[in-house]
Structure 1
Amino acid sequence: MEWLSAAWLAVGVFILLAYTLEAITGFGSIVIALSLSALLLPIEQLLPVLVPLNIGLTGYLAWRYRQAIDKPLLLKLILPGMLLGTTAGYFVRPYLDENLLRQLLGVLVLWFAGRELWRLRSATVASAHPLWLSRVLTLGGGLCHGLFASGGPLLVYALAGSTLDKTRFRATLVTVWFSLNSLLTLAFLADGRLSAALPHIALFAPLLLLGLWVGETLHHKVNERHFRIAVYWLLLVTALILLWPR
């Protein structure tokens, strides 16, 4: 069966890796699963599977930590630009060639992985951006989310220097992803792509729980810094492969 092909089974492995890392470090799962899976399958086929899967985790976390959400930051700075950018990205994506999409994803992942490796090496502390630049970056993050459901790298960069503690920062961000991915899932339902993705969603859903369990088990047994470095190098190599002319 096509939906149990070797490529889709490999996607399952990437999803398990992505959610294991999510549980260990809090790092965004879709950007990992999508960048690795895009080496094997078209992005258009992957998004209607990966986006709905993400709703369960982010919805649970958003509800559990709802008291820690920074509502002014969410409503005044983040959501307006992210919603506008996501909507634009969703409607622009069908007009972009698949190879161009792969290369754009490669540029995003290359920038993100390179930046994180540099930060880990130099131990630099991010400084706050001017408000206008944060709004522009937030809009760009929304555009990336509409194209790849991977707006996290630019949004986190837009919020550099934020005074939020880790709990409030995480609660606010997972609320963003739950909101935007719910919107994208409704769009996939409306355009008919969600129904075609349901067998894969059902197949991979247990991997989310397995990844969370493995991540929680490894959380106190692995060096988080070393694990992050290994994954960022994996993303760096993946980005270069995505950028390689075909």
Structure 2
Amino acid sequence: MLLELTIIFLVLLFGSFIQGVSGFGFGLIAMSFLPLLFTVKESTLLVVSLALVLSVSIALQLFKHIQWRTIIVILSAALIGRVGGFFILHYYGEQDILKVFLGVFLLAVVIYLFRSKPPKPDSKVNRTWLPVILGLGGGLVGGMFAVGGPFFVFYFLLLYHDNKYAYSANLQVTFVLTALITVTLHGVNGDFSLGFLGYFLVGLVSVLIGSRIGVRFFAKLSQANIKKLAAIVVAIAATNLMVTALLL
């Protein structure tokens, strides 16, 4: 039990540090390892609940940089997607096949992280159908696996390529509101167990420490190198997750 809690603490600490530095990554890191200990449903509920606390912590520190008018479309679509993710996780979250799907998605994200290039400064950003598609996708995947961040990262990097504080602040407030929807729906549906509280408290301490350290290093560390390190860790864990799910 002590070893399990220690592993959970360290995984969540690393994930929250990555999010504090780069704006996202907590769900990717956490969901690469936690399904090895729990079901996808249990892992997602723990990560989403902690992501809510983590994102609130970071958003409050960057609150003055939030630009509400620019995120209303993608946020509205994301909230709809989260409702769809809730139903899928509720009915199929205990099945191991979801671990395979999760592993495939995580590897796809790794490929994206390594191949993506910074947006061109003069590129024109579509603010109608693009945020709707990305919001629905991010909301759905986030509601199922708590790893919908890359959809929002892609869009906000286009919008705020010259302002990393606005990028991170608006990303975090999006995470806050979408996570709140997921936690509320599953809470009303009775999906949280009493044993969940112990893991949540351990994780709470972990993410508060990790996020504060990450935000402190936000202006000092290279985000590109941090993302590469996180991508390598996610790739290894995702491969192990898929192999384990297929062999069991």
Instruction: Please give the TM-score of this superposition, normalised by the length of structure 1.
Output: 0.84
CA RMSD of the aligned region, Å? 2.6
- Retained in 1: the 8 A contact 2:134–2:151? yes
Question: Number of residue pairs matched?
Answer: 239
Distance 1:63 1:226, change over 3 A: closer
- For 2:74 and 2:7, locate their aligned partners in 1 and report how far apart those are by CA, in whole Å: 34
The match for 2:230 is: 231
The match for 2:17 is: 20
Percentage identity across paired residues of the two chains? 23
- Measured against aligned partners, the alpha-carbon deviations of 1:94-120 in whole angstroms (never above 9, x if no partner) come to 33362221122112211111111123x
For residue 90 of structure 1, report the CA deviation from its aligned partner.
0.4
- For 1:156 and 1:220, locate their aligned partners in 2 and report how far apart those are by CA, in whole Å: 18
Structure 1: unaligned runs, 5 residues or longer: none
SS at match of 1:30: helix
> What does residue range 146-161 of structure 1 map to in structure 2 within 5 Å?
146-159=143-156, 161=158
- Retained in 2: the 8 A contact 1:52–1:185? yes
For residue 242 of structure 1, report the CA deviation from its aligned partner.
2.8
- Measured against aligned partners, the alpha-carbon deviations of 1:34-87 in whole angstroms (never above 9, x if no partner) come to 122122321111223222222223223333433322212222x11221011000
Distance 1:161 1:95, change over 3 A: same
AA of the residue aligned to 1:15: L
Structure 2: unaligned runs, 5 residues or longer: none
- For 2:90 and 2:191, locate their aligned partners in 1 and report how far apart those are by CA, in whole Å: 13
- Measured against aligned partners, the alpha-carbon deviations of 1:172-208 in whole angstroms (never above 9, x if no partner) come to 1111111111222222322223342111112222212
- Measured against aligned partners, the alpha-carbon deviations of 1:4-39 in whole angstroms (never above 9, x if no partner) come to 364443222211111122233333312211122122
- Measured against aligned partners, the alpha-carbon deviations of 1:124-158 in whole angstroms (never above 9, x if no partner) come to 53666644243212211110011012211122224
Deviates more, 1:47-56 or 1:228-237: 47-56
- For 1:220 and 1:139, locate their aligned partners in 2 and report how far apart those are by CA, in whole Å: 31
Deviates more, 1:161-170 or 1:31-40: 161-170
- Retained in 2: the 8 A contact 1:24–1:216? yes
**Counterpart among 68, 80, 86 of residue 82 in structure 2:** 86
- For 1:216 and 1:139, locate their aligned partners in 2 and report how far apart those are by CA, in whole Å: 28
- Retained in 1: the 8 A contact 2:56–2:173? yes
SS at match of 2:96: helix
The match for 1:57 is: 54
* Displaced runs of 4 or more, over 4 A: 126-130, 216-224
- Retained in 2: the 8 A contact 1:129–1:160? no
